Chains A and B, each alone.
Chain A
């Protein structure tokens, strides 16, 4: 597959499978609480411990509206940095299919607002590590249904949250349904940066894992549906092993992306040399 510089930014959090939407996976056991506000629910969901490092192998399936499938397999390494371990460095290596094998992507995700992320891409066909400028945040990652907004550190300050329902049940688990609307006074910026006009998320009450989401997309008036399944506790961290997102228009599915976490290890020491542009053309 010919790959351009715009289409190979990988799913940092999603490929790890453990921190989709910055905190879908949780580490501590949570108690049911009827008194939490919407903001508190989202904060607890996104601030839970997800491991200071993560090594994972994932499969990503792209399915178009006609049912045609394309499969990607990759290995990823993540390490938290900075004073509060809020900054993240992640590197990905594609292993399948053959025409993108050895492609790698490196990303430094800086937590402070206003600080651009740093990213590099290695394309084996060009034999070159290339520094990248920030893409349109509503652009798709590697042709998937996840966008840059979806995979980067969540900006909770962009949204006003309210609890729509406290009695939802997803796969037998009690959930809150939280609605997010662009923050008053900042609507234009939020819509422009995220590409969304409204979001709904379902958060499990027992472990604060986000198990479902609905996103109203401005461009093309589409709706995206997110589902997290195969949720299990790995090394004490709640992990959604399968994440699916589908893009629909007028009720019809245009495209679906399914990411399955085949293997994951948390908190194993990863040498800092892994997170350098120099590592990218040396491979995993």
Chain B
């Protein structure tokens, strides 16, 4: 297997020269592993099948009960199709079952919790790609757009909703949700223009009622009753439209975007249910306009990044005090939301000058315009700071990441620390610690301060 080199220089250094490795046996192994079932050639092209099996085990070390909070097995199957030079396609399905609820006793959980967390099957990406020319592409189906420079904040990233069923503490690659859309792209040598019509209404996904990640804990505690969501009607005639111009230059990239989109976070329509002696909150979704730019510029080992957007007539929830005052005044219709403009801004940098390490720092600020004290639930100004550090070891066998997001205005901190070890080409094992810290009882995140947990994951790709 090893062939010797034939250098005639005889010294200590050259005496240690390793023999040459014979690659032929390794390539044969790889060919054998790609069995005929994986790659098939059809009369028109190719399709390939791949995916992964993953086991996630979580222990919530701060929880008073249900400490072993996850034992989820997931199967992901992906098919890539190459029909011709012009037409390609992709389809991906993810299915999972969490045994933790069965082990704990399913009767211990609400129906909503079991529906949201116990089992799940979903279509991920599913689209056809048409490359009619090197300068024109049409992608039709469920897809991602992934705009913006910010890793945590959704400023320019306006096309895809996010999965907040665990408050966004899962791996960032699992956070975005694909949507059904038609995307037309024109390409130039150093520019790209997209125009996208989104035909599938898909808001952010939230934690279930009764779960540790229920986003409406404070409303329910105050006696509010969350009614089934009021979602927009048929979407084919009323799509969201977004557009982006991307430019690439030697000093950096910049994108300008605009769109009329549904807010992926709901606001509430409020009803005073005097018969039931309760206040009913109905989540609703409204469209608004957003425009802005995002980009970067590079200097040596530093990359400076920015993400800026202005939203016009964005809906905001009214404060609990304001709703209570409306109820008390018996004014008839109760207004649950109010519209105003919002300015969001992220500035940050990434530094890669330390060996095998990337350091990213982001500062985020948003301001509500025409703010009226005690009417808006949100603060007039919000500030966050986040740090993300990643480092590799042992020739990339071990990858470690550290992420912390300090919500300064909310007096809360979110964090995720993980390490992933590549056992071989197919198998990786990772250990992560995630959680939320908040000592301010007035903070929204105070109710989630005991959700810290350790997650062990094993993933086999094929």
Residues of A in contact with B (beta carbons under 8 Å apart): 1-7, 59, 61-64, 68-71, 73, 96-99, 101, 108, 116, 118, 123, 125-128, 131-136, 138-140, 142-145, 165, 168-172, 177, 202, 212, 214, 219, 223, 225, 227, 229, 242, 244, 246, 248, 251, 253, 255-256, 258, 260, 262, 271-273, 276-278, 282-283
Q: Which listed residue, A59, A136, A140, A170, touches B27 by the CB 8 Å rule?
A: A59
Could you tell me the distance between the alpha carbons of A225 and B401 in the complex, rounded to whole angstroms? 32
Is B205 in the interface zone, CB < 8 Å from A?
no
Could you tell me the distance between the alpha carbons of A136 and B350 in the complex, rounded to whole angstroms? 13
- For chain B, residues 277 to 305, give those with C-beta under 8 angstroms from any C-beta of chain A: 296, 298-303
Q: Give the shortest distance, in Å, between B437 (CB) and chain A (any CB).
A: 25
Q: Give the shortest distance, in Å, between A176 (CB) and chain B (any CB).
A: 12
Is B392 a contact of A273 with CB atoms below 8 Å? Answer: no
A282 contact set on B, CB distance < 8 A: 129, 131, 137
Is B20 a contact of A244 with CB atoms below 8 Å? Answer: yes
Chain B residue at smallest Cβ distance from A108:
B250
Q: A171-B6, A277-B248 are in contact. Are A258 and B23 (CB under 8 A)?
A: yes
Is B132 in the interface zone, CB < 8 Å from A?
no
Could you jot down 21 A-B contacts, CB within 8 Å?
A: A1-B422, A7-B356, A59-B30, A68-B424, A99-B428, A108-B250, A127-B176, A133-B350, A134-B300, A134-B352, A136-B352, A143-B392, A143-B397, A170-B5, A170-B7, A212-B7, A246-B18, A258-B23, A273-B134, A273-B187, A283-B88
B442 contact set on A, CB distance < 8 A: none
Is B190 in the interface zone, CB < 8 Å from A?
yes
Is A126 a contact of B146 with CB atoms below 8 Å? Answer: yes
Q: Which listed residue, A108, A133, A144, A172, touches B395 by the CB 8 Å rule?
A: A144
The 4 A-B pairs of least Cβ separation, nearest first, read: A143-B396, A133-B303, A125-B173, A143-B395
Q: A248-B18, A273-B134, A277-B253 are in contact. Are A98 and B146 (CB under 8 A)?
A: no
Is B20 a contact of A227 with CB atoms below 8 Å? Answer: yes
Could you tell me the distance between the alpha carbons of A64 and B394 in the complex, rounded to whole angstroms? 8
B425 contact set on A, CB distance < 8 A: 70-71, 96-97
Q: Which listed residue, A132, A169, A262, touches B6 by the CB 8 Å rule?
A: A169
Is A165 a contact of B192 with CB atoms below 8 Å? Answer: no
Q: Which listed residue, B21, B135, B248, touches A244 by the CB 8 Å rule?
A: B21
Is B14 in the interface zone, CB < 8 Å from A?
yes
Is B5 a contact of A212 with CB atoms below 8 Å? Answer: yes
Q: Which listed residue, B189, B246, B250, B357, touches A272 by the CB 8 Å rule?
A: B189
Could you tell me the distance between the alpha carbons of A8 and B246 in the complex, rounded to whole angstroms? 23
Could you tell me the distance between the alpha carbons of A127 and B159 in the complex, rounded to whole angstroms? 13
Q: A1-B422, A71-B425, A96-B30 are in contact. Are A225 and B18 (CB under 8 A)?
A: yes
A96 contact set on B, CB distance < 8 A: 30, 425
B401 contact set on A, CB distance < 8 A: 4
A283 contact set on B, CB distance < 8 A: 88
Q: A99-B52, A101-B50, A131-B253 are in contact. Are A2 and B420 (CB under 8 A)?
A: yes
Q: A97-B461, A133-B302 are in contact. Are A142 and B396 (CB under 8 A)?
A: yes
Chain B contributes a number of interface residues (CB within 8 A of A) equal to 76
Q: A133-B298, A168-B9 are in contact. Are A64 and B397 (CB under 8 A)?
A: yes
Is A133 a contact of B392 with CB atoms below 8 Å? Answer: no
Q: A126-B146, A248-B18 are in contact. Are A131 and B396 (CB under 8 A)?
A: no
Q: Which listed residue, B8, B190, B354, B390, touches A169 by the CB 8 Å rule?
A: B8
A145 contact set on B, CB distance < 8 A: 395
Q: Which listed residue, B23, B303, B351, B428, touches A1 by the CB 8 Å rule?
A: B428
Is A132 a contact of B352 with CB atoms below 8 Å? Answer: yes
Q: Which listed residue, A126, A143, A253, touches B18 by the CB 8 Å rule?
A: A253
Q: A6-B356, A165-B9, A277-B248 are in contact. Are A99 and B461 (CB under 8 A)?
A: yes
Q: A248-B16, A276-B248, A278-B192 are in contact. Are A7 and B352 (CB under 8 A)?
A: no
Q: Which listed residue, B88, B135, B353, touches A136 by the CB 8 Å rule?
A: B353
Could you tell me the distance between the alpha carbons of A132 and B459 in the complex, rounded to whole angstroms? 28
Chain A residue at smallest Cβ distance from B304:
A133
Is B7 a contact of A133 with CB atoms below 8 Å? Answer: no
Is B331 in the interface zone, CB < 8 Å from A?
no
- For chain B, residues 181 to 221, give those with C-beta under 8 angstroms from any C-beta of chain A: 185, 187, 189-190, 192
Contact with A along B1-21 (1 / 0, CB 8 A): 001011111000110111011
Is B319 in the interface zone, CB < 8 Å from A?
no
A3 contact set on B, CB distance < 8 A: 399
Chain A residue at smallest Cβ distance from B430:
A2
B299 contact set on A, CB distance < 8 A: 116, 133
Q: A4-B358, A282-B131 are in contact. Are A69 and B7 (CB under 8 A)?
A: no
Is B462 in the interface zone, CB < 8 Å from A?
yes
Is A135 a contact of B301 with CB atoms below 8 Å? Answer: yes
Could you tell me the distance between the alpha carbons of A136 and B424 in the complex, rounded to whole angstroms? 27
Instruction: List 16 additional A-B contacts (Cβ < 8 Å) besides A126-B173, A260-B23.
Output: A5-B358, A6-B390, A7-B392, A71-B30, A98-B51, A101-B50, A131-B298, A132-B298, A134-B301, A139-B356, A168-B8, A168-B9, A169-B8, A177-B9, A262-B27, A278-B246
Is B172 in the interface zone, CB < 8 Å from A?
yes
Q: A64-B397, A145-B395 are in contact. Are A172 and B6 (CB under 8 A)?
A: yes
Chain A residue at smallest Cβ distance from B354:
A136
Could you tell me the distance between the alpha carbons of A230 and B311 in the complex, rounded to whole angstroms? 61
Is B43 in the interface zone, CB < 8 Å from A?
no
Is A73 a contact of B30 with CB atoms below 8 Å? Answer: yes
Contact with A along B244-263 (1 / 0, CB 8 A): 00101010110000000000
Could you tell me the distance between the alpha carbons of A62 and B20 in the complex, rounded to whole angstroms? 13
Q: Which listed residue, A5, A61, A271, touches B134 by the CB 8 Å rule?
A: A271
